[in-house]
Amino acid sequence: MTELAKQKRNAYMREYRKNNKEKIKEIQEKYWERKALGQEEEFKTELKEDSTTMKELRTEKLTEKLENMIDGETISFYVEDLDSEIVEEIESNN
């Protein structure tokens, strides 16, 4: 792109941003929301793939559940559901 074309584009964009402040604000908010969601999904994927961290979190969660266990409930119920519960807990803390 030539220098003149760059100058024309930049001038146009400055004018556009000046005249459309609310629209630019909306676009930026949507961008950062999508970006944050993508990073959250990436974090969940990494967490699921990191077996050491997941085992530590499972152990922590299982210990917590056992300490608060109600009569008649079985440990296998908790073991089956721990991965998704850990991810949900992490999501709620963010």
Residues 36 and 67 in one domain: no
Same structural domain for residues 3 and 43?
A: yes
Are 56 and 44 in a shared domain? Answer: no
| CB-count burial class (<10 Å; 0-12, 13-18, 19+) for 18 | exposed
Write out residues in the chain with pLDDT < 70, as ranges: 66-81, 94
Domain that holds residue 44: 1-49
Number of structural domains in the chain: 2
**Amino acid identity, residue 69?**
M
The answer on 66 and 42 residing in a single domain is no
Q: What is the CA radius of gyration of the chain?
A: 24
Please tell me whether residues 43 and 55 are part of one structural domain. no
Co-location of 38 and 72 in the same domain: no
What pLDDT was estimated at residue 67?
66
pLDDT by residue (tens digit) across 3-27? 998 899 889 888 988 998 998 898 8
